[in-house]
Amino acid sequence: MRTFLRALLPILALGGGFGIFAWQMAHRPVLAGQAPESPAPLVRVIELQPEDRRLEVRTHGTIQALDPLPLAPEVGGRVVSVSPSLVEGGFCAEGEILFELDPADLRIALDQAEARLAQAEAALRLEEAAAEVAVADWSALGRGEPNALVRHEPQLARARAEQAAAAAARDRAVLDLERTKVRAPFAARIQEVDLAPGRILTPGTPVATLLPTEAAEVVLPLSLEDLDRIGLDLGGRGLDLEVTLRAEVGGRPLVRSGRLNRLLPDLDPATHMVRAVVRIEDPFALAGDQPPVAPALFVEATVPGRLVRGVFALPAEAVREGNRVYLAGGDDRLEIRTIEPIQIDRDEILVGAGLAAGERLVLGEVPVPVAGMPLRIEEPER
């Protein structure tokens, strides 16, 4: 028994010593201002280098038909035929006959006009012959130079006027007869058709709307700051910029190009913004391989701006709230700096001043950022 106790006493003494040490460590006093040390955050950085970039202005608008024209006959009559092209959504060529009116009445009118012209021409020839006889008789009598009455000048003037009026009436009758065939004044796409065979029309009755296939337009709102980025003034002189238009149709992206060639003369009364007009050639893609567009399609536009030199392109993720960026100083300590962007896009931000070549921009999050805190720089992958 005594032997067992002698063996146990050293073990108990050692265990008691460890217990006292643990209690002292748990209850040791903490000095004011002392904080447990934590490792410096590990961050990714990129080295900044200036570059020359062309600014871009992003805006939007809706495609509009270029000068839509109501289709209407110039003469009246009953519709006797309608072209298969004259349906909503159809296409027609310039000069194509879209519908015809019954020409019977106008053929009769033309026959009558030609008859009246023949009568007037015959009357003029008779009057000319009578004038020649009168002048010959006057000369045979030796009465000297014949006067205007002897020469039948008033009668000839009236006969010539009647002949001219009859010729004009004949020409008008020919024109009216031709107008019973209503033709497309230009290559067009058809919209809003209201016509059927048998319908009786009066002159000027609109029966459809023609949208020119040659071109379409989109009006883009631009702020005065946008004009400065593009390098324009309110006069818009010398405008001819290629604009990229984007839309989504059926879940698929659509890209077209157009030419910004003019500014409307007044500001939008509601927004006080400039309105720029972009012309889109061949909007329905009849002669090219670009995708077709249609009136009322909403598009986003990218307008090229002026060239700026020595700017820094920053990833959008690296610009924090309040336009602040984090930089890793030469001693690997955090610098917090406020920048002034000159262009903000979805993925990148252009900065002209406030940064220097070779500085290291911090990417990603920095927990509890404090200026001057140490950083650990992540080594780039090789």
Could you tell me if residue 345 is inside a domain? yes
Last residue of a domain, one of 289, 307, 325: 307
- The model's pLDDT over 312-345, given as tens digits with 9 standing for 90+, comes to 999 999 999 999 999 999 899 999 999 999 888 8
- The model's pLDDT over 77-128, given as tens digits with 9 standing for 90+, comes to 999 999 999 999 999 999 999 999 999 999 999 999 999 999 999 999 998 8
Which of 211, 221, 163, 207 has the alpha carbon at shortest distance from 188?
Answer: 211
Are 325 and 297 contained in the same domain?
A: no
Which of 124, 208, 200, 197 has the alpha carbon at shortest distance from 167?
Answer: 124
Are 301 and 320 contained in the same domain?
A: no
Please give the Cα distance from 369 to 314 (Å, whole number).
Answer: 19
Are 313 and 233 contained in the same domain?
A: no
Are 297 and 313 contained in the same domain?
A: no
Are 272 and 226 contained in the same domain?
A: yes
Are 216 and 294 contained in the same domain?
A: yes
Could you tell me if residue 94 is inside a domain? no
Are 231 and 296 contained in the same domain?
A: yes
Which two tokens mark 153? 């000048």
Q: What is the pLDDT of residue 289?
A: 80
Could you tell me if residue 201 is inside a domain? no
Could you tell me if residue 49 is inside a domain? yes
**What is the domain-level CATH number for residue 223?**
2.40.30.170
Count of Cβ atoms closer than 10 Å to residue 334 Cβ? 20
Please give the Cα distance from 153 to 156 (Å, whole number).
Answer: 5
**What is the domain-level CATH number for residue 368?**
2.40.420.20
Could you tell me if residue 135 is inside a domain? yes
Last residue of a domain, one of 164, 179, 194: 179
- The model's pLDDT over 9-22, given as tens digits with 9 standing for 90+, comes to 454 445 445 444 44
Question: What is the arrangement of strands in the sheet containing 69-71, beginning at the earlier edge strand?
Answer: 69-71, 208-212, 188-191, 91-92
Could you tell me if residue 78 is inside a domain? no
Q: What's the number of domains the chain is made of? A: 3
Amino acid present at 86: L
Q: What is the mean pLDDT of residues 255-270?
A: 91
Q: What is the mean pLDDT of residues 39-65?
A: 92
Question: In this structure, what are the phi and psi dihedrals at residue 322, rounded to the nearest 5 degrees?
Answer: 80, 20
Are 146 and 175 contained in the same domain?
A: yes
Are 267 and 352 contained in the same domain?
A: no
Are 107 and 47 contained in the same domain?
A: no
Domain extent for 251: 58-66+211-307
Question: What is the arrangement of strands in the sheet containing 77-82, beginning at the earlier edge strand?
Answer: 181-183, 97-101, 77-82, 200-201
Q: What is the pLDDT of residue 122?
A: 94
Could you tell me if residue 11 is inside a domain? no
Percent of all residues in the chain with a pLDDT value above 90, rounded to a whole number: 61
Q: What is the pLDDT of residue 326?
A: 94
